[in-house]
Structure 1
Amino acid sequence: MHAVPPPLPRTAPTRLVAGPPGTGWAWCGAAAGLAGAAGLLGTAGIYTQDAWDAGDSSRMAASVAEHSSIVWAHQALSALVVTLLMVFAAGLYRHLALREPPGGLVPAVAAGGVALTAVAVFLGAGLDTELWWSVGDGAIADPDTVGSMVVHYGAVPWLWGGLGLSAAAVARAGFARRSVGRGLAVTGAVAAVLLLATQLAPVQYIALLPGALWLIVSGPLLARSAARAAAD
């Protein structure tokens, strides 16, 4: 008879303990704010003012065709902004999750607001593809359709109101639990109020400005906070 070997002792599975995140994600947020504000504003002029004032869709389509290179630049820029925002969202979630009580909603709401903004920019970039092919050589698109897309071109990727959720969540983390510094809390509260105002009035696309400013200011503050945590 063969001896039956004794069972191996059970050991607890090895768990990897994650250290504090670096600062690159925070700088991605600041870069997204800069690229969004400067880039989206800089690529807004895909038509001449006289074509817009005339209200003539044919003239509008012809004007867009003359500025097709700007349409392409807008699409490439939007892809960059989306990438930066998503990295920032992931880093912000982890940064807050390490400081907030387990199971809290603040990290998820903060990251979700950034992700919502990235979706708006992503969908706005889809208009660039439609515009590009609608005004190119041999295009047969209805000028009225082009005019409609132009209106959305200057609105959809500017809908940064989702950052109001993120700013409010960061503000709550700072004031309620001191999970972030007072500077971040105050900045978040001010930005949340401004972003809320853009959503209560029919000027939602104005949210680009306070949203981008919040990213530009909060990015370095979050980077400094993350650096301090890594040093402790």
Structure 2
Amino acid sequence: MSTTVTSETSTTQPTRPAPAGRAWALSGVGAALTGAAGIWFSLAVSPPYPTDSVLTPEAVVAHYATVVPQLLGFHVTTVLAAVLLLPFAAGLHRRLTGRTPAGSLHGLVAMLGLVVLSAVLVLGSGLNTEFIFGFLTPEMLVPSDASFYSHWVATISWLWVTAGVSGLAVGVAALRHGAAGRGLGVASLALGGLTLLLGVSPLQYMAGFVGPLLLLVLAVAMLRNRS
């Protein structure tokens, strides 16, 4: 007596990965634009320095009481830039990791630079709630504290130095491993290097002029090339 066992073999079709979406790259564009807007608002609210006298803390309080809407704009745009940086950083990491050799650190370094920048922008906006509404009742504020706040607003959110590190990582990945086009690689090295150089110099806040442009170039390039 014999027994025949019939085995059924199921064939599983390989799953094709879904194409990468556009949202992460769009968030990078948004982060660049809102980051630049935050820099502009920071300039717009800076107290004017008199040429024939010393700017007193009381004069700082009086000035800020007249620019509360601009201070609100500074807060909203700076925090939005910080939030929008995170999905772009994650998407950039995924893009570079998929186009560089296994074990390469380019994607991780690029992501970390933007994540650190996001934290810096949050800190740059961190005193806004306490002071912005306080300027509506200036008699409740200590003038010397407001003077410190004016320096905080004009400095911290300008510290885009780590975006320069991200730009260099993208540039090296593009030129050495073909992770992106050669044009983007050259632009990333140039803008990233300039942002980093300004950031490590005593005029470190000047990185805020170049960093948003670097971020916009990276985001637009990633948006155009979805493969």
The question of a shared fold, defined as TM-score above 0.5 by the shorter chain, is answered with yes
Query: Structure 1 stretch 161-170 or stretch 213-222: which is displaced more?
Result: 213-222
Q: Partner letter of residue 143 of structure 1?
A: P
**Distance in structure 2 (CA, Å) of the matches to 1:100 and 1:19:** 20
**Distance in structure 2 (CA, Å) of the matches to 1:17 and 1:154:** 49
Q: Which residue of 2 aligns with 1:106?
A: 106
% identical aligned pairs: 29
Distance of aligned partners of 1:107 and 1:84 in 2 relative to their CA distance in 1, 3 Å threshold: same
Q: Which residue of 1 aligns with 2:43?
A: 44
Q: Which residue of 2 aligns with 1:12?
A: none
Q: Partner letter of residue 82 of structure 2?
A: V
**Distance in structure 2 (CA, Å) of the matches to 1:210 and 1:34:** 12
Q: When the two structures are aligned, how many residues end up with a matched partner?
A: 213
* Within-5 A mapping of 1:65-214: 65-137=65-137, 140-214=140-214
Any conservation in 2 of the 1:51–1:60 contact (CA below 8 Å)? no
Distance of aligned partners of 1:96 and 1:20 in 2 relative to their CA distance in 1, 3 Å threshold: farther
Any conservation in 2 of the 1:134–1:146 contact (CA below 8 Å)? no
Any conservation in 2 of the 1:51–1:59 contact (CA below 8 Å)? no
Q: CA deviation at 1:39?
A: 3.7
**Distance in structure 2 (CA, Å) of the matches to 1:198 and 1:157:** 14
**Distance in structure 2 (CA, Å) of the matches to 1:133 and 1:117:** 26
Query: Structure 1 stretch 167-176 or stretch 62-71: which is displaced more?
Result: 62-71
Cα-Cα RMSD:
2.2
What SS does the corresponding residue of 1:55 show, helix, strand or coil? coil
**Distance in structure 2 (CA, Å) of the matches to 1:212 and 1:65:** 29
Distance of aligned partners of 1:20 and 1:139 in 2 relative to their CA distance in 1, 3 Å threshold: farther
**Distance in structure 2 (CA, Å) of the matches to 1:93 and 1:54:** 48
**Distance in structure 2 (CA, Å) of the matches to 1:126 and 1:143:** 19
**Distance in structure 1 (CA, Å) of the matches to 2:190 and 2:167:** 8
Distance of aligned partners of 1:102 and 1:17 in 2 relative to their CA distance in 1, 3 Å threshold: farther
**Distance in structure 1 (CA, Å) of the matches to 2:155 and 2:19:** 37
Q: Which residue of 2 aligns with 1:25?
A: 24
Any conservation in 2 of the 1:113–1:166 contact (CA below 8 Å)? yes
Any conservation in 2 of the 1:96–1:107 contact (CA below 8 Å)? yes
Distance of aligned partners of 1:17 and 1:124 in 2 relative to their CA distance in 1, 3 Å threshold: farther
Per the normalisation by structure 2, the TM-score is: 0.85
Long gaps (5+) in structure 2 = 1-13
Query: Structure 1 stretch 144-153 or stretch 16-25: which is displaced more?
Result: 16-25
Any conservation in 2 of the 1:65–1:136 contact (CA below 8 Å)? yes
Query: Structure 1 stretch 173-182 or stretch 34-43: which is displaced more?
Result: 34-43
Q: CA deviation at 1:127?
A: 2.0
- Structure 1 ranges of 4+ moved more than 3 A: 15-20, 50-54
Q: CA deviation at 1:162?
A: 0.8
Long gaps (5+) in structure 1 = 1-14
What SS does the corresponding residue of 1:162 show, helix, strand or coil? helix
Any conservation in 1 of the 2:42–2:153 contact (CA below 8 Å)? no
